[in-house]
Structures are given as structure tokens and as C-alpha cells.
Structure 1
């Protein structure tokens, strides 16, 4: 019997597996897909997530391979938030395909001793683990990191209230013969952003008043992009075309007995600002040290209740902000365009407002009842807080005791 079975080998499940192993728990990750999905839904790694990686000594490959972006958008507005004012060693986002992020996180989990099994479709829960088609995988705890259609969440009977999709966006990972570099273009015909990707590709992502719901074609994408930007940038050779909606839901509880939820299994939303994967990894960062402490006997089971208490409000705030950004992104009417212009101007002219939005988007402003996240700092022994946290334990600082997840204890 394992201490923990994780269902889902996405970024959230893989980071959680590494955290559990760092804390001494035995863990197996079960993934339905036999091969990693080559199409990367997530692209953006935010400053707080880079800090999390640094606190475990694995940030360097991400920093080496990711494209650094020194600012961020709110609701696709043309005036962007300046990340250079943020209190972090990493005042930028990284553009890195999710497939590569998963590969790096899986390498870490395996190196720490986690077991990853692919081609394993979980069909339900048992009293002591999960059920596959032809076997039961026994474990003391089950964590659902299996996405918005989570089998674990449904089997545990956890409600997932919210709203269905009312608007749709699209994305295309394509080759551009005349790329604009980073671009953010909006108007009454819709809005789009262009982001360079490794390997000579660009991602074009956006929305338009006439966006449909069926399978996206390259011809449709060309027509839509031309209507918004006046050009299709020489678009060709699509690697991936996709649509997505603004259905917004959150699990009523992140824990039901020995079943817990993290990442998209706990919250779904429009992918505004590229924050979803980051919040999922940070869910896992909060849960991992706690669950490991419980299963190894270092903490009482009541510690697990703090996971819901701390992370559910973060998820609720995520939903509020993505809904607000969606409203701005889809404000195609003259009145909506005027609203966008006013808010965008405030971001440009009110530094305090821009900073507050940047802190929220980047995940640096998260605070629990025990305290806020503690910035990196030089400690009395000569090393830094982030370096000291790499062992996965509590760290004493001048500001007080810091938990393994970087927040004041």
C-alpha cells in the first residue's frame, strides 16, 4: 500500500509527487494517457511559481529555456503591468510549453523516488485506494489532480458548482512568416495576443464576437486574425488549433475524508492571464508538505483541514479575477471599448493600481492566517531563505519561522 495515490500526471500532480517524496511519503501517480500530451494548454509560468521552483532547487532549467516577459496583461488591455516593481528575484513571467514543464517536473518526481504509471485509467474509488479496470491500487490517501472532468471528484461526491460557458476563445500554435514578436491587438472585431514559442512557432490566442464552438480550422483562424489585426502574419503549418470556453466552477470542498483535490480538479475558469497551472502547482506546494507530515506521523490529521481553509479562498479569488478579465476581453461594443480604454489608462497612469494587479496575477500577494509568503533574504549563516527551504523543512528567520511552502508559520 502506498501512502498516497495521485490521479493525473499534469504539472499539479507531478509537483505534488515530488513534494510528497521530499517529505518521506510513498507515492504513485496514475495517468490515463500513455504518452505526454504534446499540445500545451498552459504556457505562462508566473513569478511566484518560479520562486517555488527555486525553493526546491529546480528553477535553472526553466530559467534557461523559458522566454522571459517583463510585464503582464490584465484582460488583454494594451497597457501592461510592470513586473519590475515586484519584490521577487524573478520580476517576469516565463513562456514555456506545458509539455516541457511536465517533462522537467516528472524528472524531479522520479529522481526523488515517485512511481509514475501511464495508461492507467481510474474508474472509481475504493475504501482504500482507487479502482482501475483490472486492479485496485491501495493507498491511505487519494489526491485528484485529474482535471476539470475529475473522476476522483465525482466519485467522492464533491460538488462542483458554477456557471457554464457563455463565450469562447481560440488559440493556434502556428508558423508565422511575418511574426510581430510579442503583440497585443484589440478592437471592435476582437482581440488577440501573439507570443513566440520555442522551435520557431508562435501562439496566437484571442477571441472575437463571432467566435464559434465547433472544430477550429486554419482558414477560420486566418480570417479572424486578419479582421482583428489587418494581417494573418503569414500564418501556416499549424501544430495545434483549439477552442476554449469560460465555464467557471469550484469544488465545494478540497477535502472529503481521505480524498483531496488540487489544480483543475478543484477549479476551472477561462484561461485569462495564464494563471491556472500556476495556482495548481501552488495548491500542490501547500498540500505536499502537510500530507507528507501526516502520513509519516509528524503531524496530526487536522493539519489537512488547513489545506482547504487556505487554498479554497485562493481559488475563489482566481475565479473572480478571471471572470473580470473575461468581461474586459469580450467587451466588443463601443461602451465596452470605452471601458477597456479607461481601465488600461489607469494601469498606465496609476502605479499603485498596476502593482496591486501584478501582485495578484503573479501569486505574490497570497496570504494565509499564519501570514504572507516570505520574500527571499540573506540568512545569518550566509545562505538565502530559498536555498535553505530546499530541504523541505521549516526555516527560522529574523521575521519568524517559515513553513516549507514559504509562508510564515
Structure 2
């Protein structure tokens, strides 16, 4: 690459969407220098505003935002009136909790006492528009010193065992690491040669704002027909699914005539579309990267996995990737990570993506316009209406059933940490704002205090009791909020030290100054 070098940093991130911005925040919080390159010249677009940009944020994602102090800024930014008017499910008489293939389940059906690994919480799923999400994350990223550059199209990637160079137009950017967060058609994934396999689409999905000559022709709500599915939210919002193997996605112009033809075919009515406003298409194509890392190049979010937006799992899956990767990559950059730490990113997150892709495929199976699928859909509808069924659905859709394989049979280990209400007047989540691992010692154990002195460069320690400690004496929480160790009995600290040795080099082994350079 002979072009002039424009930037050198710890991490280059390609893609300034929600996942790229959140990952940048995580890395910068740990003291890494980060630059984001975004192909779009303008981050603002109508497709990011409600109703088209509306996304459901799961409980797991809400907890992530809360642990980084981003939840209240997000809630303050969201235009609630616009969200409420765009989200038809928010106007139901019962409070909706989510859906599976359009089959709703409701908050009053869910038995949260079945989740013994959780404490009661005020955090619940929330609708938010992409524009608001990105604005909050960009504000935080800029505050932390992240550089965000727009109108930069990546054309070439050259990776060595020491760094990664990116050619973008007439510029060359260099970073010690590169992360592709650039969506389902990721240029990073393609240029770096990652495998990408899965199942081809069965349908084309449509989302359009229309002006109908007579809106009374179409009944409001969700309707399954012999040729597909449509949802009409009067007076002007249409969602449709037609099982055409995805041939109309990006291959047919979204004209008024085309939308009218598809709507008539699916609804079986002579509805007339007078005018077409904003419209978009999507499919149920479900593909997964063969690897999440190739040397110094990594993938996160839709660059690593794509599937239909049914059930709102995609963005939440991407945030989980960023939260998992951020602290591991930062520890590697800062020179105190054990060799296998970064490899655990793929080992933990790829199986989660496999489950979500299958969850998406199962929804497609229920939506097919054939007798077998209709019969199965009726059974799943009945199951979702039961207390156990709705509780199971919520556990999956909300992301609170997630458990990594950390080879420990304690019921809390490898799960998201309960948000303990501590006797210092704060919640546990508030103690995770710095992005460091945390040893929570309910009893003030001297052995644990001594251990934390040795690992204070990457480990916070608090000795405080809780209103409900769930029978625990102490627990070790990773920077991403996952419980790495928990004990119901006093400990000599040896187990905790063994776990830390799997994550981090000891201070004497570390290669560089471990002082955090730019804490928020």
C-alpha cells in the first residue's frame, strides 16, 4: 500500500452502527485507542426512525446498557410518542412481552419465580429506534475519545501478525487489530476470507407506508392467508411476507404497482394502493461465519451472522457480541491477557448465534402457508397462552436463559449476574460502570481482600452485604457482567485466583503499563 497513512490506533472498527459504536465504547473505556470507519456519508436516514427503525431491546440488552450507564440516557432520548404510535403492539389492552412467529405472549402470563438464577428487577424489554440508539452510543464514544469517520469505503485489507492495514478510497488506515461490524454484506468478512454458510431464503418480507383508496377493505391486525401473511396497522402501515424464495428482495423495484400486486395476492382482496411512501424488504436468509477471528481480524454483529428479523433477535445478538469481545480484546491489547482469552470470544458467542439462527428458522417453519405449518402454529399458539409456555418464550426472547460453558455447576456461574441491591445504597450494575471485573464479597473475607490487591490493575473489589444475597458469600463477575465464580461458603481465594489466571497474566508477567488511560 503506497497511499499516505491517515491513522494508526489500537483498533480499527469498520461500521458505525449500534454494534460498532458499542464495541468502540467498551474498548475506549478500557483505555484503547479506537477509530471507526463508516461507509455511509450521513448517519441519518428515515429507515432508522420509527416505525421502520423500531427495534425491540431484550432484557439482556437493557442490562448491558444499565451496566455501562447508558440506559437512562437512552430512555431520555427516545421519542416516546413516536414509538408508541409506531408500535401497534404497545396499544393492546394487555402488556405484550414479545412474540414467536407473530404469536404474542404477555407479561401477565410470565412466572418469573421459575428463574431461580435471577432477582426481581425493574428492567423489562423496551422498544427503541435505531437513530436514538446510535445517537446515545456515539455521544459516549466521542466522550471517550473514539474517532468516527464517515464516507469511508473499505476496498482492501492487509493483515500481518503485527497489525492490519485498510485501504479506503485514497487513504490507508492502520490498526493493531481490526473488527468488522459492517453488517450482513460485510466487506471485512469478504476481504479477509471468512467462510459464511447457512440456509437460503424462503420468503420476501415487506414493510411499507401506503395510502389506500379505502382502508376499510383490509381488516386490521395479523392475518395468515393461503399465500402468506400480512399485518395491517391502520391507516397506512403494511407488513407482508410472501413465500417466493426471496426473489423480490433487492431484485424488484419497490413501486406502487408492485406493492399493490403483492398485497392483493396475499390478502385476496381488490385493495387499491393510491400512493407508496417509504418501503423496504428483507428475507429469512440465515448464514453464520465459520470463524469469528482470523489472526488480528475479528467479526461482530451482522457481519458474523444474519437471519430474519422475526422476534427482534439480531440487534440484541450483536450487542452481546460486543460486550463479550470488548473486555477480551482490550485485555489482549493492554498486554495482560492470557493467551486463550481472545479465543473464548468465538467459543462463547458462536454457539449463541447458532441457537438464534435456529430460533429464527423455527419461526419461518410456522409461517409457511401450508396445512402442516398452520396446524403446528395452532398448537404453538395454545402453548404460548399457558403460563409455562409464555415463561419459556420470554426466557428465550429476552435473552435471560443465556449460559456459557464455564465448566462449573454452580447455578449462577456462566449466567448474567443478578442485580443485587447492596447495603451501600447502590445496585450491583452501578458498580460495573468502569468495565472492570468485580469481586463482590458479602462477608469481607480477608483472603479475598489480599487476592484483590495483587490483581487490582484489572479487578475491582467491594465488601458489602445485600438485601438478598441469594445464600452467597462471594462471587466474581467478569467485565461483561457474567458470573465467573460463586460460592455459598467462605473461600480461601484459590479458586478465584485459578480463574483469574485463565483470563490474565499476573502483574509481574504483564508486558505493558496497565494503567487505564481514559476512564469514563
Task: Confirm or deny a common fold (TM above 0.5).
Answer: yes
**Where does the alignment leave 5 or more consecutive residues of structure 1 unmatched?**
none
Q: What displacement does 1:190 show?
A: 2.8
Change (3 A) 1:264 1:391: same
Q: How does 1:340-351 map to 2 (within 5 A)?
A: 340-349=377-386, 351=387
Q: Distance in 1 between matches of 2:32 and 2:483?
A: 23
Paired residue for 2:373, among 333, 336, 339?
336
Q: Does residue 168 of structure 1 match 2:204? A: yes
Q: How does 1:179-190 map to 2 (within 5 A)?
A: 183-190=221-228
Residues 342-400 of structure 1: CA deviation (Å, up to 9, x unaligned): 11011102x22321222111111111123111121212433111111111112233451
Contact 2:30 2:327 (8 Å CA) reproduced: yes
Q: What displacement does 1:61 show?
A: 3.6
Contact 2:14 2:179 (8 Å CA) reproduced: yes
Aligned to 2:303: 265
Q: Distance in 1 between matches of 2:275 and 2:427?
A: 46
Aligned to 2:477: 402
Q: CA RMSD in A?
A: 3.0
Higher relative contact order (CA 8 A, sep 6+): 1
Q: How does 1:271-290 map to 2 (within 5 A)?
A: 271-290=309-328
Aligned to 1:6: 13
Q: Distance in 1 between matches of 2:28 and 2:287?
A: 30
Deviating more after overlay: 168-177 vs 362-371: 168-177
Q: Distance in 2 between matches of 1:149 and 1:169?
A: 18
Aligned to 2:105: 80
SS in 2 for 1:240: strand
Aligned to 2:177: 141
Q: Which one has a bigger Cα radius of gyration?
A: 2
Aligned to 2:229: 191
Contact 2:68 2:432 (8 Å CA) reproduced: yes
Aligned to 1:323: 361
Paired residue for 1:207, among 218, 236, 241?
241
Contact 2:14 2:38 (8 Å CA) reproduced: yes
Q: What displacement does 1:217 show?
A: 3.0
Q: Distance in 2 between matches of 1:270 and 1:386?
A: 32
Aligned to 1:44: 56
Contact 1:188 1:337 (8 Å CA) reproduced: no
Count of aligned pairs between the two proteins: 402
Aligned to 2:341: 303
Residues 99-118 of structure 1: CA deviation (Å, up to 9, x unaligned): 32222211111111110001
Q: Distance in 2 between matches of 1:274 and 1:50?
A: 14
Aligned to 2:131: 99
Contact 1:393 1:403 (8 Å CA) reproduced: yes
Contact 2:208 2:277 (8 Å CA) reproduced: yes
Q: Distance in 1 between matches of 2:239 and 2:70?
A: 29
Paired residue for 2:400, among 357, 364, 376?
364
Contact 1:395 1:404 (8 Å CA) reproduced: yes
Contact 1:347 1:354 (8 Å CA) reproduced: yes
Paired residue for 1:16, among 3, 12, 23?
23
SS in 2 for 1:110: helix
Change (3 A) 1:2 1:233: farther
Deviating more after overlay: 167-176 vs 291-300: 167-176
Aligned to 1:376: 419
Change (3 A) 1:403 1:238: farther
TM-score by length of 2: 0.70
Q: Distance in 1 between matches of 2:142 and 2:418?
A: 29
Deviating more after overlay: 66-75 vs 369-378: 66-75
